[in-house]
Structure 1
């Protein structure tokens, strides 16, 4: 692949870092949400999951350290 790309001067290759959640601020929010409200949730309906997610969003939005 490198040889093929090297033949094409119009195609720059950039090396990307491995998974780096600290570079993506929304990862902190997702982590906080997933570890609390829907953790071990076994709802009978999709609405149960939606309600848990909404509860988590309300909790996150009131915490000035998260958003």
Structure 2
């Protein structure tokens, strides 16, 4: 039995399905943005790329957490 994906990554399948881009592509966009603050990045994804708040928040949280390691 495999463990279910939890946290921000649990949104990834629906993000890929709804917005048509793979997660690494979204993460590259976030990393290449001149913005660095969590909520600034979330707002940018929502306004410039049409993501919903939960999806944008999950992508930013996961991407920034990876960079912190």
Structure with higher helix content: 2
TM-score where L is the length of structure 1: 0.35
TM-score where L is the length of structure 2: 0.34
